[in-house]
Structure 1
Amino acid sequence: MAVVRKTITFTEQQDAWLKSRVNSGDYTNDSEYVRDLIRKDQQNNEKLRVLQSAIEEGLASGVSKRSVVDIMKDVEAKIEING
């Protein structure tokens, strides 16, 4: 994978936080910590995209003719199967 060098400016408070994370031993350097933050942000955005897609699909499907009780029974059955 190609590597691109970036210059990033931090406030003194942010720099102190970065240094504390590295000094705690969780990360070996500033770059590793920032890359980890980016990976976590990418994962969160993917989860949000999946959720938004499910909401759109639900809205597009219209109003169900099934009762809430019947829907909940199906949900409970799925939970038991995947459980």
Structure 2
Amino acid sequence: MATPPLILPETALGWARLQVAAGKVASVEAYFVDLARRDQNEAEETAYLQAVIDEGLASGVDPRPAEQIFAEVRTKYFGRNG
């Protein structure tokens, strides 16, 4: 499959060229491939975190007082209550 040409601002190309010159990436193309990969990873992480937040919000409110919850966590994980 042919890669379509991209028209990028000179500032973006200049920055990518600086990264190549500094030895951080092998080529301008590699810089933009890495940038796209990192953007995809960030989007996946954000979607995961949003799903966990939504799950937590949907689970409702624990009726126990916060002090009781923390005491139970301390006992469970640290073997003490206080």
Q: CA deviation at 1:7?
A: 1.1
Tell me which residue corresponds to 1:50: 48
Q: Distance in 1 between matches of 2:5 and 2:68?
A: 57
After the TM superposition, which of the residue ranges 59-68 and 30-39 deviates more from structure 2? Answer: 59-68
Unaligned regions of 5+ residues in structure 1, if any? none
2:25–2:31 CA contact under 8 A, matched in 1: yes
Give the secondary structure class of the aligned counterpart of 2:60: coil
Residue ranges of structure 2 left out of the alignment (5+ in a row): none
The sequence identity of aligned pairs, in percent, is: 30
SS of the residue corresponding to residue 39 of structure 2 reads helix
The aligned residue for residue 60 of structure 1 is: 58
Match for residue 9 of structure 2?
A: 11
2:64 maps to a residue whose letter is R
CA RMSD across the alignment: 2.3
Q: Which has the larger radius of gyration?
A: 2
Shift of residue 68 of structure 1? Answer: 1.9
Distance, in Å, in 1 between the alignment partners of 2:69 and 2:4 is 51
> Does 2:27 align with 1:25?
no
